[in-house]
């Protein structure tokens, strides 16, 4: 129990690494939270600082989520056991909370999509990779990052249950929670999408026109 609590704290601290804030401040003298959507994430970094800054932010956010879940292998639990899965889910939550409420950046972070993707990759990689494909297709056709993120989140339980035929209640609940969480964190984006005021992202350009 003590070891698990320690691992959860480490996962939170990993999630709290504010890559967007640190990269923006160190290399550009800008706090991305003061511009654009005011989020400390890869999308806002892309919007404010461009691709050169956004790519490392995205990769670091994905990696810290994945690394947080990989801490589960230090627990001594048997791979594939319920105890291991439950710990992985808890580590996912700790890492995402860390990104949203980072102790290293005044508890003002981002939405945690990239961190959530990296963390979930450590739980169910096959479904996450398919969700990434959904995200890419939606982004490429609509240029809405928010719509791509939500679509990928909703697709996650569909892939887990429908495509892979999982019957684990815990896994099904976990996948559904992921979908609901992404819809909840993007509730303002949903309103802007319905109003036609959501910002588009064009990867071939530094900033949207």
What is the structure's pLDDT at 208? 42
Alpha helices by DSSP H, listed for the chain, are: 2-15, 19-23, 42-49, 51-70, 82-100, 113-121, 125-142, 145-157, 169-185, 187-195
**Residue 82 CB neighbours (<10 A):** 11
**Residue 17 CB neighbours (<10 A):** 23
pLDDT > 90: percent of the chain: 90
Q: Return d(Cα 209, Cα 207) in angstroms, integer.
A: 6
Question: Token pair for residue 17?
Answer: 């690494």
pLDDT in tens, 47-72: 999 999 999 999 999 999 999 999 99
Binning pLDDT at 50, 70 and 90, where does residue 187 land? very high
Question: Token pair for residue 163?
Answer: 């495509």
Region 131-142 average pLDDT: 96
Binning pLDDT at 50, 70 and 90, where does residue 204 land? low
Region 35-42 average pLDDT: 93
Mean confidence (pLDDT) of the chain: 94
Binning pLDDT at 50, 70 and 90, where does residue 205 land? low
40 φ, ψ to 5°?
-95, 70
* Position 140 pLDDT exceeds 90: yes
Query: For residue 139, how far is the Cα from the chain centroid?
Result: 16
pLDDT in tens, 148-167: 999 999 999 999 999 999 88
pTM of the shown model: 0.91
* Position 104 pLDDT exceeds 70: yes
What is the structure's pLDDT at 168? 87
Q: Return d(Cα 91, Cα 209) in angstroms, integer.
A: 39
* Position 206 pLDDT exceeds 60: no
Q: Return d(Cα 74, Cα 56) in angstroms, integer.
A: 27
């Amino acid at each position: 129990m003590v070891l698990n609590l320690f691992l959860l704290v480490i996962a939170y601290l990993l999630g709290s690494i504010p890559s967007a804030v640190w990269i923006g401040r160190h290399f550009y003298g800008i706090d991305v939270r003061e511009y654009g959507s005011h989020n400390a994430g890869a999308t806002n970094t892309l919007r404010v600082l461009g691709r050169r800054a956004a790519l490392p932010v995205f990769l670091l956010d994905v990696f810290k989520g994945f690394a947080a879940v990989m801490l589960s292998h230090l627990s001594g639990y048997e791979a594939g056991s319920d105890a291991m899965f439950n710990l992985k889910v808890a580590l996912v939550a700790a890492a995402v909370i860390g990104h949203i409420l980072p102790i290293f950046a005044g508890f003002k972070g981002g939405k945690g999509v990239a961190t959530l993707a990296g963390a979930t990759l450590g739980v169910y990689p096959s479904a996450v990779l398919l969700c990434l494909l959904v995200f890419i297709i939606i982004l490429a056709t609509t240029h809405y990052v928010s719509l791509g993120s939500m679509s990928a989140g909703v697709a996650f339980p569909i892939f887990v249950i429908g495509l892979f035929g999982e019957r684990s209640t815990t896994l099904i609940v976990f996948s559904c929670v992921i979908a609901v969480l992404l819809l909840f964190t993007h509730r303002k984006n949903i309103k802007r999408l319905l109003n036609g005021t959501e910002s588009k992202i064009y990867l071939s350009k530094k900033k949207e026109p």
